[in-house]
Structure 1
C-alpha cells in the first residue's frame, strides 16, 4: 500500500474515532440531563480545576488530597449512580441507546399531543382546574421532586383522573417528561412580575413562573371559567379557543419531534454515506 494511502486511511480512522467518542459523550449527556448527575459533573469539573491549580503552584498536600479524591471518587460514582448506569446498559442491550427511529419519536409526539388535547378539552368543558407543565430542553427534576412520583405513560384518562377535585393529587402541577407523566402535585415557582393581571390566580402565576426559569410549555385550565391558557418563554396566551390551543400544542410537540426526526434521519443518512 502506498505511503500516501496509509496516511489517508489513518486520517479517516481518526475522524471516525473522534465522531464515535463525540456521539457517545452526547448520548451520555442527554441521558443524565435534568438529573442530579449534572451537579456531579459540575463538582468533577471543580475538582479538576483544583488539581490543575495545586499542581501549577506546587501545593503538594492539596494535590495529594485531590489525587485521593479522584482515585476513590470513581468507585463512589459507580455506587451512587448505579440505577442510571443500569438504565443505560439496559437501553444499550435493547438497541435504544444509540438510535431511535424518527418515526417512533414522531408517533410518540402525536400520541402525547392527542392525550393532552383530549384531557384539556374534557376538563375545560367541566371547569376542572388543571396545571400541566411539559419539560423541554431544560431539566425539571428539581420541581418533579417536590411532587408525587407517577412515572406512567401519558393518557387523557390518567391526566383527567389526576385533576378530579378532592383527590390526593389534584392540587399542584403535573409535569410531563419524555412522553411520560413524571409526577403530580408538584410545586412550581410563582412569577413575581408586576405586570400580571390581578384577576389571575395561583395557577397562572405558577405557569408564568416556570416559563420564566425553564423552556417548558405549561397549560392552565381555569376552574372558574373553564378557559384554556398556555405559557412559554415568559409569555401568557390567555383564553385560547379549542382550535388555537390544538394548533399550538401540535406545533410545539409534534413539530419539534418532526425536527428531531429530520435531524436523526439526516445523521443516519450521513453515517450510511460515510460508511
Structure 2
C-alpha cells in the first residue's frame, strides 16, 4: 500500500514538474503552429495554391535529403530556390494572400455555420423554380454550388451579390441581354455569392460537339473541384448536372430533384464546425466518455 502511495506521489510530482511555465509556452507554441497550418490547408483547398504547397513540400524534402546525403551543390541550389521563391510567391499569389488576410480579419476561424435539411430544401425549392422557368423558355443558365472544395478563385472573377437564394433573382440574372447573364452564378453557404463568374473550360474530347461553352465550363469546374453545377441549354432547354467529372444530361424534374437532395441533404443536422469546436468535440467528449463509463 505504501509502495502504491509513493508511486502515486512520484507520478503527481512528475506531472507537476511538467506543468512549468516554459513547458506551457512550448505547448502553446506547438498549438499555434498546428492551428495556422490547419487554417492554411482549409484556406487553399480548391485553389491553385494547393499545387504550390505540394511543390514547396517537394523542395523541402529534396533540401533535407541532399543535406543529409552530402550533396552540397544540390543543397546550395535548393537554398537559392527557397530564398528567391519567397519573393516569387508573394508576387504570383497576391490574390490568395489577400484573401487569407481578409479571412483572418473577418474572424471566421472562430465561427461556425449550421446547415440543416430545411435550409437545403429551401435552396432546392428556389433552384427548381428557376430551372423550370428557364428550361421551358430555353433560357441558358450556369449555376455552380460550392460543396467541400472552395471556389474562391472563381468567385473573385464574378460580380458580388451576396444575396439570399431566390428563384426570381436567378431567373432575372440569366435573362438574355442583361449585364449578368454571361458567366456562372456561384452559390456558397446557401447564398448567391456572385454572378457572371468565369469557370475553367474543359479540354476533354469526350464532351459531345453539340454542347457549348456552358457545358464545357460545367465539366471544367467538376474536373478541378467537387462543385455541383447545373446547366440549362439555351438551344433545347435540356437540364444537365456535372459533379465529380461526370456530366448527366437530359434530366427530368424528378431526376434532378432526386439528385440534388442526394447530394445536398444531410442525414441529420450538422455543423460546419470551427477549429475550437472540433477540439472540444475531440478532447472534451472523450473525457466525458471516460466519466460515463465509470
> TM-score, with normalisation over the residues of structure 1?
0.70
- 1:47 Cα deviation after fit: 4.6
Q: CA RMSD in A?
A: 4.3
**How far off is 1:164 after superposition?**
0.7
User: 2:38 is matched with which residue: 10, 23, 26?
Assistant: 26
TM-score normalised by length of structure 2: 0.66
Instruction: Provide structure 2 residue ranges, at least 5 long, that are not aligned to the other structure.
Output: 1-7, 289-294
Alignment match, 2:221? 210
Q: What does residue 148 of structure 1 align with?
A: 158
Which residue does 1:84 correspond to in 2? 99
Give how far 1:67 is off: 7.2
**Equivalent residue runs for 1:95-244 within 5 Å:** 96-101=108-113, 104-106=114-116, 109-141=120-152, 143-144=154-155, 147-150=157-160, 152-156=162-166, 157-179=168-190, 180-190=192-202, 192-194=204-206, 196-197=207-208, 199-244=210-255
In the alignment, is the contact (CA less than 8 A) between 1:109 and 1:257 conserved in 2?
Answer: no
**Greater radius of gyration (CA):** 2
Following superposition, the deviation at residue 109 of structure 1 comes to: 4.2
Residue correspondences, number: 265
Query: Shift of the alpha carbon at 1:225?
Result: 3.4
Separation in 2 of the partners of 1:203 and 1:8? 63
Cα separation, 1, equivalents of 2:149 and 2:281 = 28
The 8 Å contact of residues 105 and 257 in structure 1, kept in 2 or not, is answered as no
* 1:58 and 2:72 are equivalent in the alignment: yes
Distance 1:88 1:6, change over 3 A: farther
Query: In structure 1, what is the Cα distance between the partners aligned to 2:233 and 2:82?
Result: 57
1:2 and 2:17 matched: no
Q: Give the Cα–Cα distance (whole angstroms) in 2 for the partners of residues 256 and 217 of structure 1.
A: 18
**Which residue of structure 1 aligns with residue 4 of structure 2?**
none
CA deviation after TM superposition for structure 1 residue 246, in Å: 2.2
**In 2: Cα distance, 1:223 partner to 1:271 partner:** 53
